Structure 1
Amino acid sequence: MQPSAYRDALLDSTTAGLIVFDLEGDICFANNLARSFLQHPTDQSLISSFPEIWNFTRDATVYETETLLPPMQREGRDYSATVKVVKQQDEIVGYVCALYAHSRLERLARDTKAFQDLAREESAIINFSSDGLWICDASAKVVRINPASERLNNVSAKEVIGKHMAELVAAGMLDKSVTLEVLKNKKSVSLLQKSGERSLLLTGTPVFDLQGQLIRVVVSERDVTEIDDLQRALEEEEALKNKYMEQVRSLQQAEYGGRAIIAKTPAFINLINQALKVSSVDSTVLISGESGVGKGLIADLIHENSKRKAKPMIRINCGAIPETLIESELFGYEKGAFTGAQSSKAGQFELANNGILFLDEVAELPLSAQVKLLRFLEDGCITRLGSTQRKKVDVRVLAATHRDLDAMVKAGSFRLDLYYRLKVIPLHIPALKERKDCILPLLRHHLDFFGKKVGAQKRLSVEASDILLNYEYPGNVRELINLCERLVVMTDSETISSADLPQEIMNSVEGSGWKATRWVKEKTLAETLNKVEEQVYREALKQYRNQYKVAAALGVSQATVARRVQKYGILQTSAIEDQ
């Protein structure tokens, strides 16, 4: 591959530096321009003179066509290179590399193109941004706005470019200018602006040059109308919630004959909210729940918050009146209607005119009275016993029962049509055992109430509180109130301990598998906690009898349950299923 003198002269005249090297990296030929690029011009090895090219060639695949190498730089000079294989009889015997130095003009052209590409990219970002953008100069004149700003402010770029922001505000095109605030404060400023029906959040940012002089203000605009509307709706919802919560809090302080409404659990708070809602209308309400849960208290609540609160609420316990007298008691009678009727008498419906009639234990009404009650609910008229004249009365009916009216309807002891007339708005009061969060506040309230009556303040010990919190209260709130009166009267000391509690409560709590765990002087904290944990697992396993269900209920893994079962020997005393 030794070139001739003529070929050497010819190759020296080219504008590219040419280097020919073999498969071992030895330079076979380099023209004058190429030698000016070499690290060591006298060196015959490309490996030491131009390692960049050798490393690329060595690591690359076979070049059938001319291949452009990545841009390179040496001693402040930028250059590019191409490499192509040299073959003899289809066998690669070496490589030829062409080197091109970049002139200043080329660099400027390249930099100009890069600048143009960057400008086009920035312009595309500005134009296609969903947020509005304003660009103003240091004198607050508009230099540019994007299409999003035109749409948000209902203006065209031609109308505003070149105008001073103060001029646009004075013309009413804008209600305020964040640009002027930025120029005044020399820092970023955010504010809300009204543009027609839209609410815009504006953020102005100053741009400084290398000397620290403010040269531009960039303002971004975001349409927050929907967010504003949602915020307003949330505020209204919050205000409504606060109104109900305030009513609930006031109700917790309200007393009806020494009874307090304590709403702590979500279900009971929801019930109070429902009762407050139905107070403002005249719909018939059916209040259900176990005996002693406070059905009369909810009826009082509805009456006190209704438009009829200035009028009486007549209470009738339907189970306390003999069946033979219930109709005359409710609807009244005329003179001579029956033996002993020496004069006419108005019934409870007439006495409750313009007010409320509360029918407690409505399930105890005989069928004959049910028919008359149904007729009143349909047309608002009553007929006294012994009379044929119907009389119109304005009475709202509230009814309550602890019995299962669905079962009574199926058994035929309660009319289906009356059942549906009564339960226009059903309110179910949960049993006290279902609202544990209310128990301690109720206990404290009634202990204070009765304590003030007898002039002795009483409080519960921690152990007594734990026991009463886990008691089932079959008599519900009524039983709790009676218990508090008993404890205040019968306890000698200021603190009510577990020893002061009635034996039936202690038997019931211990019979349910729960025992108050207290610290014993001889026991460490770890031993005491283990005892509590054992009680919890025994109760859970007794109820679910399945380790996976117990794990789900206690929020632990099945493996943890299995370890505790083994640790406390529960399998020795209980037949527990593993699956």
Structure 2
Amino acid sequence: MPIPKIPPLPSHKTEQWSSPPQMFQDLSVAGILVTDKAGIVLSSQGFARKILRVKKGIPLEQALPQLWPKVKRTLQDLKRRQEESISIETEVNFLTWIEPIVYDSICDGIICFFIEHLKIPELLSQLSSFQDLTGVLNTIIDSSADGLWVSDSQGIIIRINPASERISDVKAEDIIGRSTQELIDLGIIKRSVFEEVINSKKVVSYLTQSANGRKFIATGTPVFDVSGDVVRVVVSERDVSEIDRLQRELEEQEAIKDEFRHKIAEMQQTNLSSQQVIAKSPCMVKALSQAIRVSNVDSSVLILGESGVGKGLFADLIHKNSRRAEKPIIKINCGAIPESLIEAELFGYEKGAFTGAQAQKPGHFEFADGGTLFLDEIAELPLSAQVKLLHFLEDGQITRVGGTTGRTVDVRVLAATHRNLEEMVENKSFRLDLYYRLNVIPIYVPSVRERKDCVLPLLRYYLDFYAEKVGCKRRLSLAATDALLSYKFPGNVRQLMNICERLVVMSETELVDLQDLPSDVFSSQKKQGRSSAVQLPENIALREAIEKVERSILKRSYAKHRNQYKMAALLGVTQATIARKLKKYGISKHVDYE
């Protein structure tokens, strides 16, 4: 929007004296005289009337002939005069100010102020302080980053600061002296906060826009005199266009960050998909993120979780994403090796170390040199082997059974167990120091019942996987899907995989239905159906059926919770409704608020 052209202000200005300046009032002005343009006294106050005996209607030339020449010159040239000390037939000297009263460039009279000479030093001191204070205030106003407009009680602009000129793209000389209504008519401002403040005598704020398109917040504040009338209105303008620009930049930066996060998530998902890991539940996503993060370091990792959750898969994931990916990962099931042979298998042995040791043999630690050693079921490791494993974790050296010389190997140890090692430490069946060495970075792999969101994708993946191996197609019916989703899978992913393989092999049709499921899954579904379903006879009335179902739900909920507030929260009703329904169906004879 183009900024409107501002017409010039009228050439004449009005100047009138209604009372002496505040500085003069504070210094107790000795006297005041007012004359018309002919020099006739119109008013006399204070010492001018009492001591000088100047009366209304007397020519000033007659009353004060010493002062008349100076007043006469002021009437002619309209210049203000400050005269030196004048003694007027008293012992008191006066300093006189002579001010013309001008209207439309025509002098209508003169006003004279008389200040006692003894007050002059005080006046000059206060005048100097006043000038210093005025200079400081002017500097503060002009250096403010916020725009400031000041109007009088009639809405006439008497000052704006440089920030206001910049925000509104105007010049002070074009604004000062104009009324707010005139500025609205010219299109300089869209709303007169000055008039709103004057009328309401309250602070007024609103968001507006200048003619040059800048947005700013205008806040008008009234200034009151001692009688409570508004004498000034101060409007501050805060430019929010820069704030909007910064906000857009922040949003752009956030968008870039979100894009980077999305790319990283895609890369992680691609990486996980290559490992055949399905993660939909937040707990599983968290575990996989931890595994990827620890892949970049060589710290020992303890993988925890129930049997069949895929702890070995996590070990593979960590190894393949580490700097050791080009080296081997050796997997040992500590519970599958006889206790008498576990040390020899792990650390190797020398010739003649025991009966049948015809030659020396390196252990799995040496085979895994430069790579990773995964010790599954670490809780089954004998105490004697725990000591040697602890020594390796401390100094990186192993000693073969029957040997006397240590060997340094570069091996990262990953361990896993489904048992509670803390309880085993308390029972003295697992070393505390080894537990702390292995438990540097623990990762908990959730069970299938903890990752419900993953069950359906897992079922579909392994059903397709085994169907492709067999060379056929298989898909689950809705009933079979519901049964499998409600099954708890105590054997976790390993059991789920076995069930999928069985369904692919044993099903005679492409559609796998409820009767094709294993008996434990099918019986579990029927049991849940019997416990949750309400048996309704045929030809039952709708109202009676609703009440029967409602009573069954309330009865089960009350038996489980025994608390009306918990029941109300779970069933989505109020406590009063629960209390009324329980009484209606005779489920509870007392009101339980605990």
- Structure 2 SS opposite 1:134: helix
Counterpart position of 2:574: 557
Q: How does 1:97-116 map to 2 (within 5 A)?
A: none
Counterpart position of 1:245: 265
Take 1:569 and 1:510, find their aligned partners in 2: how far apart are those partners? Answer: 29
Counterpart position of 2:563: 546
Query: Which whole-Å deviations, capped at 9, do the CAs of 1:230-287 have from their partners, x for residues lacking one?
Result: 55764565355324421443255334xxxx3111111111111111111111111101
Take 1:553 and 1:481, find their aligned partners in 2: how far apart are those partners? Answer: 35
Take 2:385 and 2:264, find their aligned partners in 1: how far apart are those partners? Answer: 38
Query: Which whole-Å deviations, capped at 9, do the CAs of 1:290-339 have from their partners, x for residues lacking one?
Result: 10111111111111211111111110000101001111111111111111
Counterpart position of 1:339: 355
Query: Which whole-Å deviations, capped at 9, do the CAs of 1:88-115 have from their partners, x for residues lacking one?
Result: xxxxxxxxxxxxxxxxx9xxxxxx9868
Take 2:392 and 2:526, find their aligned partners in 1: how far apart are those partners? Answer: 51
Residue 278 of structure 1, aligned match among 291, 294, 303:
294
Change in Cα spacing, 1:552 to 1:266, as seen in structure 2 (3 Å) is same
Residue 323 of structure 2, aligned match among 287, 304, 307:
307
Q: How does 1:67-466 map to 2 (within 5 A)?
A: 117-120=155-158, 123=160, 133-136=166-169, 221-223=241-243, 227=247, 231=251, 234-235=254-255, 237-239=257-259, 241-251=261-271, 253-255=273-275, 260-466=276-482
Take 1:367 and 1:116, find their aligned partners in 2: how far apart are those partners? Answer: 97
Take 1:347 and 1:400, find their aligned partners in 2: how far apart are those partners? Answer: 20
Take 1:390 and 1:144, find their aligned partners in 2: how far apart are those partners? Answer: 95
1:250 is aligned with what amino acid?
A: T
List gaps (5 residues or longer) in structure 1.
Answer: 1-104, 106-111, 146-185, 190-201, 205-217
Change in Cα spacing, 1:254 to 1:460, as seen in structure 2 (3 Å) is same
Take 1:425 and 1:564, find their aligned partners in 2: how far apart are those partners? Answer: 52
Take 1:567 and 1:446, find their aligned partners in 2: how far apart are those partners? Answer: 50
Change in Cα spacing, 1:523 to 1:492, as seen in structure 2 (3 Å) is farther
Shift of 1:540: 4.6
Change in Cα spacing, 1:538 to 1:331, as seen in structure 2 (3 Å) is farther
Change in Cα spacing, 1:539 to 1:296, as seen in structure 2 (3 Å) is farther
Counterpart position of 1:44: none
CA contact (8 A) 1:136 1:143 kept: no
Counterpart position of 2:58: none
Counterpart position of 1:45: none
CA contact (8 A) 1:323 1:366 kept: yes
Shift of 1:557: 2.9
CA contact (8 A) 1:467 1:516 kept: no
| TM-score for the superposition, normalised by structure 2 | 0.57
Take 2:272 and 2:413, find their aligned partners in 1: how far apart are those partners? Answer: 25
Take 2:462 and 2:376, find their aligned partners in 1: how far apart are those partners? Answer: 24
1:249 is aligned with what amino acid?
A: Q
Change in Cα spacing, 1:545 to 1:219, as seen in structure 2 (3 Å) is closer
Take 1:286 and 1:269, find their aligned partners in 2: how far apart are those partners? Answer: 18
Shift of 1:396: 0.7
Shift of 1:503: 1.8
Query: Which whole-Å deviations, capped at 9, do the CAs of 1:32-69 have from their partners, x for residues lacking one?
Result: xxxxxxxxxxxxxxxxxxxxxxxxxxxxxxxxxxxxxx
Residue 508 of structure 1, aligned match among 524, 539, 544:
524
Change in Cα spacing, 1:465 to 1:324, as seen in structure 2 (3 Å) is same
2:167 is aligned with what amino acid?
A: W
Take 1:371 and 1:144, find their aligned partners in 2: how far apart are those partners? Answer: 92
Shift of 1:444: 0.8
Change in Cα spacing, 1:432 to 1:366, as seen in structure 2 (3 Å) is same
CA contact (8 A) 1:136 1:144 kept: no
The structure number with the bigger radius of gyration is 2
Of 394-403 and 519-528, more deviation after overlay is shown by 519-528
CA contact (8 A) 2:579 2:591 kept: no
Q: Does 1:493 align with 2:526?
A: no
1:306 is aligned with what amino acid?
A: S
Counterpart position of 1:484: 500
Shift of 1:358: 0.6
Take 1:463 and 1:236, find their aligned partners in 2: how far apart are those partners? Answer: 45
Take 1:539 and 1:307, find their aligned partners in 2: how far apart are those partners? Answer: 56
C-alpha RMSD of matched pairs (Å): 4.1
List gaps (5 residues or longer) in structure 2.
Answer: 1-103, 105-149, 176-209, 217-237
Query: Which whole-Å deviations, capped at 9, do the CAs of 1:483-504 have from their partners, x for residues lacking one?
Result: 1111111111222222221221
Change in Cα spacing, 1:430 to 1:355, as seen in structure 2 (3 Å) is same
Change in Cα spacing, 1:549 to 1:380, as seen in structure 2 (3 Å) is same
CA contact (8 A) 2:421 2:435 kept: yes
Change in Cα spacing, 1:394 to 1:252, as seen in structure 2 (3 Å) is closer
1:453 is aligned with what amino acid?
A: K
Change in Cα spacing, 1:503 to 1:331, as seen in structure 2 (3 Å) is same
CA contact (8 A) 1:551 1:558 kept: yes
Change in Cα spacing, 1:243 to 1:339, as seen in structure 2 (3 Å) is farther
Of 542-551 and 393-402, more deviation after overlay is shown by 542-551
Take 1:401 and 1:389, find their aligned partners in 2: how far apart are those partners? Answer: 31
Change in Cα spacing, 1:466 to 1:335, as seen in structure 2 (3 Å) is same
CA contact (8 A) 1:293 1:477 kept: yes
Take 1:558 and 1:345, find their aligned partners in 2: how far apart are those partners? Answer: 74
Take 1:330 and 1:422, find their aligned partners in 2: how far apart are those partners? Answer: 16
Take 2:411 and 2:400, find their aligned partners in 1: how far apart are those partners? Answer: 16
CA contact (8 A) 2:160 2:172 kept: no
Change in Cα spacing, 1:219 to 1:435, as seen in structure 2 (3 Å) is closer
CA contact (8 A) 1:135 1:144 kept: no
Query: Which whole-Å deviations, capped at 9, do the CAs of 1:437-471 have from their partners, x for residues lacking one?
Result: 11111111111111111222211122221111111
Counterpart position of 2:484: 468
2:348 is aligned with what amino acid?
A: G
Query: Which whole-Å deviations, capped at 9, do the CAs of 1:344-379 have from their partners, x for residues lacking one?
Result: 111111111111111100010000011111111111
- Structure 2 SS opposite 1:280: coil
Shift of 1:537: 5.5
